[in-house]
Amino acid sequence: MNKKKKLAIGAAIIVLTGIIVFLNIASSKGWIDPGGRALEVEAQAIARGSFISSIKVDGIVEEIEKKEISFHVPVIIEKVLVERYDYVTAGQQLFQLDLSEYYNQLAQAEREKLIQQKNIEKIDARDYSVSESLKEEVARAKEQLDSAREAFAAADPEDETAYNLARQNLTETEAYYEQALSALEEAKKSSRELKKAATLDREILQQGLKTVEEQITALKAQISDLQNAAFSPLEGYVTEINVKDGDQAGNPALPAAVITNPHALQVNASIREIHYNKVAPGQKVLITGDALEGVIEGRVEQIAPVAAKRITASGEETAIEVIISLPETAALIPGLNVECEIITLEEDDVLVGSYIMLLEDPEGRYVFVIDEEAGVIRKRYIEIGSISMLEFEITGGLAEGEKVVLNPQPYYSDGMKVKIKDRQVEQP
């Protein structure tokens, strides 16, 4: 026997052995009956029901309303009136403050304001008019000058003595008038200069008064803000206290206290970018967790307008933040980890199938439908609508009540004889 014949015989023995082994396994598994007449299969009747598609994500419970109590200017905390985890009401005093330094500054500013106002009043009370006596002196000089001119005009040149006296009187009267007039103009000029200087002084005082008034307004606002900051703006728990009696507060980066409203909570979760188009505001969310008894129903409140990279155990991925609202009665506290099932689709009275009945080839997705009268299976392509993790909506190719093979094997073929196992799987 040559080598080729030996190889052929060996291959035939291996194939035959494989067939015998398969037949033994198939018989023991119930795929065929001992007579080799038909496959034994599990079947499920296609039925109508509710179809739910969902996405499961992890989330963290966080507070919606949280206020940081900060003092934006330095202030001495005379006494802390609450402790960490105390429950406070809106308007309850948290700190007793030492505001003496601010009140001293305010009193000093008020005094400075009065001084500035009095100085302005003094300037406003000054009289910058020219003395009436100077005006009267000019008027007298003018009258004398007019008389001297008349006398000189009436003097007889032939009377040399009288004529010279009249001329001398006129010259002296003119000099007197010019002197009086000059004194009046000098007084007017001096008055204008004094008034100008006083106006400048008043502007400086007025600007100083404005500065002091602004300082007073700022001090009053600071005192009011400090007083208001010493009281809780909302009802809730004191979750942080970062000062003690005698400390100086005033660092905005470190709040003196933090108040959290335990009745206004939400869940912060992240979805993968593949699910972005499936999630929308208003969708129902079923929330569970180790700290919860039962299920809490929430709603998708907000979807972040931007995506972000995050590091996971499997590497880097893109995620989108989702905010889930909670009912006010939810028995949760900030910081708890929860599991969120976002219901992206919920339909009633549709044909529902499961993936354990589905196969796929290049032409599409198909199932094996059982022809009970003929005792055979028929390969049938189907149309699928919405899908979930375990089920899918059947939109074409199958009718309600038809029985479909579960867990079909790749070697199943159209027309193959089958028989249904005694236990038939019902549609869940």
What CATH number corresponds to the domain at position 337? 2.40.30.170
Q: Is residue 45 part of a domain?
A: no
Of 325, 347, 369, the last residue of a domain is: 347
- Are both 220 and 116 inside the same structural domain? yes
Rounded to whole angstroms, how far apart are CA atoms 62 and 60? Answer: 6
Question: What's the distance, CA 73 to chain centroid?
Answer: 25
In this structure, is the dihedral angle defined by the CA atoms of residues 304, 308, 310 and 314, taken in order, positive or negative? positive
Q: Is residue 373 part of a domain?
A: no
- Are both 126 and 59 inside the same structural domain? no
Mean pLDDT value across the chain: 88
Name beta bridge partners: 97. 77
Q: Is residue 221 part of a domain?
A: yes
pLDDT of residue 126: 86
- Are both 220 and 236 inside the same structural domain? no
SS3 content of the chain, % helix, strand, coil (to 5): 35, 35, 30
pLDDT of residue 6: 56
pLDDT of residue 135: 86
Q: How many domains does the chain have?
A: 4
* pLDDT exceeds 50 at position 173: yes
Of 318, 347, 376, the last residue of a domain is: 347
Q: Tell me the average pLDDT across 260-276.
A: 93
Q: Is residue 41 part of a domain?
A: no
Q: Tell me the average pLDDT across 366-392.
A: 92
Of 303, 251, 254, 255, the residue nearest 282 (C-alpha): 303
Q: Tell me the average pLDDT across 402-428.
A: 82
* pLDDT exceeds 50 at position 52: yes
- Are both 17 and 107 inside the same structural domain? no
Helix (H) or strand (E) holding 339: strand 337-354
- Are both 211 and 255 inside the same structural domain? no
- Are both 205 and 255 inside the same structural domain? no
E strand residue ranges, 180-295: 236-241, 248-249, 257-260, 265-272, 284-288
Q: Is residue 420 part of a domain?
A: no
For position 164, which CATH number holds?
A: 1.10.287
pLDDT of residue 18: 53
Rounded to whole angstroms, how far apart are CA atoms 339 and 300? Answer: 14
Which residue's structure tokens are 């073929």? 413
Contact yes or no for 324/59 (Cβ under 8 A): yes
What token pair was written down for 150?
């008349």
pTM of the prediction? Answer: 0.60
- Are both 125 and 241 inside the same structural domain? no
pLDDT of residue 155: 86
- Are both 82 and 162 inside the same structural domain? no
Digit-coded pLDDT (tens) for 180-205:
889 888 888 988 898 899 899 999 99
User: What confidence category does residue 13 fall into, taking pLDDT thresholds of 50, 70 and 90?
Assistant: low
- Are both 90 and 235 inside the same structural domain? yes
- Are both 79 and 182 inside the same structural domain? no
What token pair was written down for 77?
């905390």
* pLDDT exceeds 90 at position 166: no
Q: Tell me the average pLDDT across 236-241.
A: 95
Contact yes or no for 77/247 (Cβ under 8 A): yes
- Are both 249 and 217 inside the same structural domain? no
Q: Which of 94-108, 126-140, 223-237 has the lowest mean pLDDT?
A: 126-140
- Are both 180 and 243 inside the same structural domain? no
Q: Is residue 360 part of a domain?
A: no
Q: Is residue 300 part of a domain?
A: yes
* pLDDT exceeds 50 at position 427: no
Q: State the Cα angle at 361 between 357 and 366, rounded to 5°.
A: 35
Helix (H) or strand (E) holding 56: strand 47-63
Show the domain range for 165.
96-229
Q: Within a 10 A sphere around the Cβ of 85, how many other Cβ atoms?
A: 10
Q: Within a 10 A sphere around the Cβ of 372, how many other Cβ atoms?
A: 13
For position 239, which CATH number holds?
A: 2.40.50.100
In this structure, is the dihedral angle defined by the CA atoms of residues 157, 160, 165 and 168, taken in order, positive or negative? positive
